[in-house]
């Protein structure tokens, strides 16, 4: 069995007798939504509180990644854990992993992934409500954070694959009035093998699922993504490519 326990959270888990696969697998909890039943197995998400702090616990059985080679298939949480580690190693904001375990039993390929809740963070689709009525400065700060996150993700060698507004969480900074952005749901993220495809897929998805963005908004987002001025030729070029 592969096992990871964050050194930071190990005392908390040990103190609450939740530092083992069996303890977390058998913990009785209410699921956040309906189980994901496909790929020959199931996957489910739960929320729990430990000493006043929120966490998300994900459990799955025989819920495997798609691959033409059966021997290379693995639980989707195994890939998600690997992607979380990769982003963290490159300094890209994402979820804090508290506990991970892969326990492949005969006929029952199990995995657990536990992360800390992003307390005080809200997804971008929350901010999209009444978008046109929000101050232009606020919109620019939010989009700049989203574009930077897309750039950081690709620089870490990953394509998220589902870079939707609901997967980009934002939190206001106290120092300069800007926002920090963090990426969640990395089950489908994969290495960016193809430069052209990888560099445009995520940001294109984000734009298509963000209705109501103005011309100025798009320029701000693409400028942060490409790390260049909003009125640059690079932004104009990518506007044509993506749209």
Domain at 215, CATH number: 1.10.510.10
Encode pLDDT of 192-209 as tens digits.
Answer: 875 555 568 899 999 999
For residue 103, what is the domain's CATH number? 3.30.200
Q: Clarify whether residues 109 and 148 are in a common domain.
A: no
Secondary structure tally for the chain: helices H, strands E: 8, 11
> What's the domain count of the chain?
2
- Boundary (domain end) residue, out of 84, 116, 148: 116
CB 24, CB 56: distance < 8 Å: no
Same domain, 146 and 107: no
Residue 106 sits in the same domain as residue 20: yes
Residue 29 and residue 64 in one domain = yes
Q: Alpha-carbon distance 152 to 23, whole Å?
A: 36
Give 208's contacts (C-beta < 8 A, 6+ positions apart): none
The pLDDT value given to residue 201: 85
In this predicted structure, the answer to whether residue 123 has a pLDDT above a threshold of 60 is yes
Q: Tell me the pTM.
A: 0.92
The boundaries of the domain holding residue 66 are 2-116
**Residue 10: strand, helix, or coil:** helix
When mean pLDDT is compared across 38-47, 100-109, 123-132, the lowest value belongs to 38-47
Are residues 110 and 163 both part of a single domain?
no
| pLDDT per position as a tens digit, 133-171 | 999 999 999 999 999 999 999 999 999 999 999 999 999
């Amino acid at each position: 069995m592969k096992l990871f326990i964050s050194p930071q959270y190990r005392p908390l888990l040990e103190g609450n007798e939740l530092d083992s696969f069996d303890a977390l697998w058998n913990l009785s909890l209410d699921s956040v939504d309906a189980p994901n039943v496909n790929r020959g197995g199931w996957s489910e998400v739960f929320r729990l509180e430990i000493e006043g702090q929120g966490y998300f616990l994900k459990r799955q059985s025989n819920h495997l990644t798609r691959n033409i080679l059966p021997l290379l298939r693995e639980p989707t949480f195994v890939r998600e854990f690997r992607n979380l580690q990769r982003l963290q190693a490159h300094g890209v904001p994402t979820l804090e992993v508290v506990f991970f375990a892969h326990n492949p039993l005969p006929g029952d390929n199990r995995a657990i992934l536990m992360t800390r809740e992003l307390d005080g963070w809200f997804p971008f689709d929350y901010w999209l409500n009444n978008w046109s009525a929000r101050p232009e400065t606020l919109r620019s700060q939010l989009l700049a954070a989203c574009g930077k996150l897309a750039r950081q993700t690709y620089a870490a060698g990953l394509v998220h694959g589902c870079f939707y507004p609901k997967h980009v969480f934002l939190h206001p900074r106290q120092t300069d009035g800007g926002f920090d952005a963090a990426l969640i749901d990395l089950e489908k993220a994969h290495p960016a093998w193809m430069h052209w495809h990888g560099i445009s897929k995520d940001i294109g998805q984000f734009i298509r699922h963000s209705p109501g963005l103005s011309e100025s908004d798009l320029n701000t987002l693409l400028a942060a993504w490409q790390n260049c001025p909003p009125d640059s030729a690079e932004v104009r070029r990518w506007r044509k490519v993506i749209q």
